[in-house]
Amino acid sequence: MYRIDDEQRRNRLGRRHLLAASGRSDSVVAVADALVALHATDAATLHLSVCARLSEPGTAVVERALYDEVTLVRLLSMRNTLFTVSTDVAPLVDAANARAVAAKERHKLLKHLREDGNGLDERWLAAAEAETLTALTARGRATGSELSAAVPALRTKITVFPGTRQEAVQGVASRVIRVLAADGRIRRDRPRGSWTSSQFRWTAAEPWPASEPAAARAEIAERWLHSYGPATEADLKWWTGWGVRDTRAALAAAGAREVLLDSGAVGLVAPGDDAPEPAPEPWAALLPGLDPSAMGWADRGFHLPAEHRAALFDRAGNVGPTVWWNGTIVGGWAQRADGELVWHLLSDVGVEASRLIEAEAVRLSAWVGAARITPRFRTPLERELAG
Q: What is the distance between the alpha carbons of residues 250 and 377, in angstroms, rounded to a whole number?
A: 31
Query: Of 143, 144, 204, 202, nearest to 171 (Cα)?
Result: 144
Q: What distances in angstroms separate CA 127 from CA 181, 309, 369, one per listed residue?
A: 16, 48, 45
DSSP 289: T
Looking at residues 308-313, what average pLDDT do you find? 97
- Is-contact 347 331, C-beta < 8 A? yes
- Give residue 118's pLDDT band: very low, low, confident or very high (50, 70, 90): confident
> Does a structural domain hold residue 75?
no
Give the model's pLDDT for residue 62: 97
Position 325: which residue type?
A: W
Average pLDDT in the chain: 96
DSSP 236: H
Question: What's the pLDDT tens digit per position in 358-372?
Answer: 999 999 999 999 999
- Is-contact 4 230, C-beta < 8 A? yes
Question: What's the pLDDT tens digit per position in 34-76?
Answer: 999 999 999 999 999 999 999 999 999 999 999 999 999 999 9
Q: What is the distance between the alpha carbons of residues 86 and 91, in angstroms, rounded to a whole number?
A: 9
Q: Is the pLDDT of residue 281 over 90?
A: yes
> Does a structural domain hold residue 128?
yes
Question: What's the pLDDT tens digit per position in 213-266?
Answer: 999 999 999 999 999 999 999 999 999 999 999 999 999 999 999 999 999 999
Give the model's pLDDT for residue 117: 82
- Give residue 89's pLDDT band: very low, low, confident or very high (50, 70, 90): very high
Give the model's pLDDT for residue 1: 79
Give the model's pLDDT for residue 163: 86
Q: What is the distance between the alpha carbons of residues 346 and 274, in angstroms, rounded to a whole number?
A: 32
Exposed (0-12), middle (13-18) or buried (19+): which is 255, by Cβ within 10 Å? middle
Give the model's pLDDT for residue 56: 96
- Give residue 101's pLDDT band: very low, low, confident or very high (50, 70, 90): very high
> Does a structural domain hold residue 222?
no
Q: How many domains does the chain have?
A: 1
Q: Is the pLDDT of residue 210 over 90?
A: no
| CATH code of the domain covering residue 145 | 1.10.10
Q: Is the pLDDT of residue 102 over 90?
A: yes
Q: Is the pLDDT of residue 187 over 90?
A: yes
> Does a structural domain hold residue 100?
yes
> Does a structural domain hold residue 186?
yes
What is the largest distance, in Å, between two alpha-carbon atoms of the chain? Answer: 69
Residue span of the structural domain in which 129 resides: 90-204
Q: What is the distance between the alpha carbons of residues 278 and 281, in angstroms, rounded to a whole number?
A: 9
> Does a structural domain hold residue 264?
no
Q: What is the distance between the alpha carbons of residues 315 and 379, in angstroms, rounded to a whole number?
A: 8
Give the model's pLDDT for residue 221: 98
Give the model's pLDDT for residue 181: 96
> Does a structural domain hold residue 193?
yes
Question: What's the pLDDT tens digit per position in 311-355?
Answer: 999 999 999 999 999 999 999 999 999 999 999 999 999 999 999
Measure the CA angle with vertex 181, ends 319 and 198; round to 5°: 45
Neighbours of 263 (CB within 10 A): 12
Q: Is the pLDDT of residue 297 over 90?
A: yes
Q: Is the pLDDT of residue 357 over 90?
A: yes
Looking at residues 293-297, what average pLDDT do you find? 97
> Does a structural domain hold residue 6?
no
Q: What is the distance between the alpha carbons of residues 34 and 55, in angstroms, rounded to a whole number?
A: 15
